[in-house]
A and B are shown apart, each in its own frame.
Chain A
Amino acid sequence: MEGTRPFLRNAFIWTAVVALPITFLGCTRKKTADAVPVGVVLPITGREAKPGQYQREGIELAIKQINQNGGILVKDRGKKLPVREIFYDDSSDQAKSASLAERAMSSDEVVAVLGAYSTALGEAESVMPDRYQVPWITTGAAATTIFNHGYQYVFGTLSPTTLLGSSTAEYLGSLVDQGKLNKGLKLALALENTDHGVDYGNGIKQWSQQHPGYFNIVFSENFDLGSPDFSGLLQKVKSSKADIFLADAHLQDYITMHRQYLQSGMHHQMISYGARGPESDARKAMGDGVDYIFAGIWWSRNLPYPQVKKFNQDYKEFTGHDPDSWYPATAYDAMRALQAAIESAGSLNRTKVRDALRTVELKDSLLPGQVLKFGPNGQINTPFVIVQNKPGGKVDIVYPKDAATGESIAPIPKK
Chain B
Amino acid sequence: MSATSATLPARRMAGWAMTALPWILLAILAILPLLVPSPNFTRLLFMTFLWTTTSIAWNLLGGFAGQVSFGFAVFYGAGAYTTALLMNAGVNPLFAFLAAGLTAALVSLIVGLPAFRLRGPYFAIATIGISEAVRVVMTNLSFTGGASGYRILEHRPFRQLEHYYTALLLAAIAFAISWKIAHSKFGLGLKAIRQDEDAAADLGVNPYTYKLAAHALAAALTGMAGGVFARYAAFIHPGGVFGFHTSVHILLMPVIGGIGTVWGPVLGGFVFGIVEEEIVASFPEIHLLLYGLLLIVIILFEPGGILGGLRKLVRRFRDHR
List residues of chain B with CB within 8 A of the CB of A224: 136, 139-140, 147
What separation, in Å, do the CA atoms of A193 and B13 have in the docked complex? 60
Q: Give chain A nearest CB distance to B31 CB in angstroms.
A: 12
Within 8 A of A (CB), among B27-64: 28, 32, 36, 38-41, 43-44
Contact between A15 and B38 (Cβ–Cβ < 8 Å)?
Answer: no
Q: Pick from B118-126, B218-226, B295-303, B311-319 the stretch touching chain A.
A: B311-319
Majority DSSP secondary structure for residues of A touching B = helix
A5 lies within 8 A of chain B by Cβ: yes
Complex partner residue of A127 from B136, B151, B267, CB under 8 angstroms: B151
Q: Is the CB of A4 within 8 A of B139?
A: no
**Contact among B18, B139, B270, B311 for A19, CB-based, below 8 A:** B270
Contact A193 B40 (CB under 8 A): no
Among B65-73, B106-114, B202-210, B229-237, the stretch in contact with A: B229-237
Neighbour of B17 across the interface among A6, A93, A120, CB < 8 A: A6
Identify which of B92-100, B164-172, B192-200, B278-286 touches chain A: B278-286
Is A218 interfacial (CB-CB < 8 Å)? no
Q: A123-B151, A222-B140 are in contact. Are A12 and B44 (CB under 8 A)?
A: no
CA distance A196 to B234 in the complex (A): 19
A310 CB → nearest B CB, Å: 36
* A24→B274 CA distance, assembly (Å): 10
Please give the distance in Å from A338's CB to the nearest CB on chain B.
23
**A13→B40 CA distance, assembly (Å):** 23
- Picked from B14, B136, B234, B239, the residue with its CB within 8 Å of the CB of A6 is B14
**Contact across chains for B151 and A7 when beta carbons are under 8 A apart:** no
Q: B24 — which chain A residues lie within 8 A by C-beta? A: 13
Chain A 92-104 interface 0/1 with B at a Cβ cutoff of 8 Å (1 = within): 0111101100110
Is B184 interfacial (CB 8 A cutoff)?
Answer: no
Known: A6-B13, A8-B314. A23 touches B233 (CB 8 A): no
Chain A 367-379 per-residue mask, 1 if CB under 8 angstroms from chain B, else 0: 0000000000000
Asked if B237 and A27 make an inter-chain contact with CB atoms under 8 angstroms apart, the answer reads no
**Which residues from chain B contact A31 at a C-beta distance below 8 Å?**
none
Tell me if A1 and B318 are in contact (CB < 8 A).
no
Give the chain A neighbours of B6 by CB distance below 8 A: 4-5
Choose among B14, B235, B263, B284 the residue with the greatest number of A CB atoms under 10 Å from its CB: B235
B311 → A minimal CB distance (Å): 6
CA distance A194 to B142 in the complex (A): 10
By the criterion CB–CB under 8 Å, are B41 and A23 in contact?
yes
B14, B140, B146: the one within 8 Å of A5 (CB): B14
How long is the Cα–Cα vector from A120 to B235 in the complex, in angstroms?
Answer: 11
What's the Cα separation between A1 and B136 when bound, in Å?
A: 40
- Contact, CB under 8 Å: A4 / B15: yes
Chain B residues with Cβ under 8 A from A12's Cβ? 21, 25, 263, 267
Q: Which of A5, A19, A24, A131 contacts B36 (CB 8 A)?
A: A24
Query: Is the pair A4, B18 in contact by a Cβ cutoff of 8 Å?
Result: yes
Q: Which residues of B contact A149 (CB under 8 A)?
A: 151, 153
A124 an interface residue at 8 Å Cβ cutoff? yes
Give, as a whole number of angstroms, the nearest-CB distance from B173 to chain A.
19
State which of A1, A6, A131 has its C-beta within 8 Å of the C-beta of B10. Answer: A6
Of residues 97 to 131 in A, which have CB atoms within 8 Å of B's CB atoms?
Answer: 98-99, 102-103, 106-107, 119-120, 123-124, 126-127, 131
Given A4-B11, A8-B311 in contact, is the A124-B1 Cβ separation under 8 Å?
no
Please, how many angstroms separate the alpha-carbon atoms of A20 and B25 in the complex? Answer: 12
A27 contacts B11, C-beta separation under 8 Å: no
A123→B149 contact, CB < 8 A: yes
- Interface residue B262 (Cβ < 8 Å from any Cβ of A): yes
- Residues B148 and A198 in contact, CB atoms below 8 Å apart: yes
Q: Using A26-B278, A27-B41, A193-B146 as known contacts, say yes or no to A98 and B311 having CB atoms under 8 A apart.
A: no
Report whether B235 and A98 are in contact in the complex, using a CB–CB cutoff of 8 Å: yes
B139 cross-chain contacts in A, Cβ below 8 A = 193, 224
Complex CA distance for A373 and B6, rounded to whole angstroms: 76
Interface centre among A1, A15, A91, A192 (most CB of B within 10 A): A1
| A143, CB-defined interface residue at 8 Å | yes
Nearest chain A CB to B43 CB, angstrom units: 7
Distance between Cα atoms of A224 and B238 in the complex (Å) = 12
List the A side residues contacting B234 at CB < 8 Å: 127, 131
- In the complex, the answer to whether B274 meets A23 with C-beta atoms within 8 Å is yes
Contact of B151 among A145, A192, A198 (CB under 8 A): A145
Q: List the 5 closest A-B pairs by CB distance, nearest first.
A: A106-B39, A127-B234, A107-B40, A195-B148, A194-B148
22 contacts between A and B (CB under 8 A): A6-B10, A7-B318, A8-B310, A9-B14, A12-B21, A12-B267, A15-B267, A19-B270, A23-B278, A24-B36, A26-B278, A45-B285, A89-B284, A94-B235, A94-B237, A120-B147, A120-B148, A120-B237, A143-B148, A222-B146, A224-B140, A225-B147
Q: A4-B18, A19-B274 are in contact. List 14 more A-B contacts (CB 8 A).
A: A5-B14, A9-B14, A26-B278, A27-B44, A45-B285, A103-B40, A107-B38, A123-B235, A124-B237, A131-B234, A145-B151, A194-B147, A222-B140, A224-B136
Show the binding face of A for B, using Cβ within 8 Å.
1, 3-9, 11-13, 15-16, 19-20, 23-24, 26-28, 45, 89, 91, 93-96, 98-99, 102-103, 106-107, 119-120, 123-124, 126-127, 131-132, 143, 145, 149, 192-196, 198, 222, 224-225
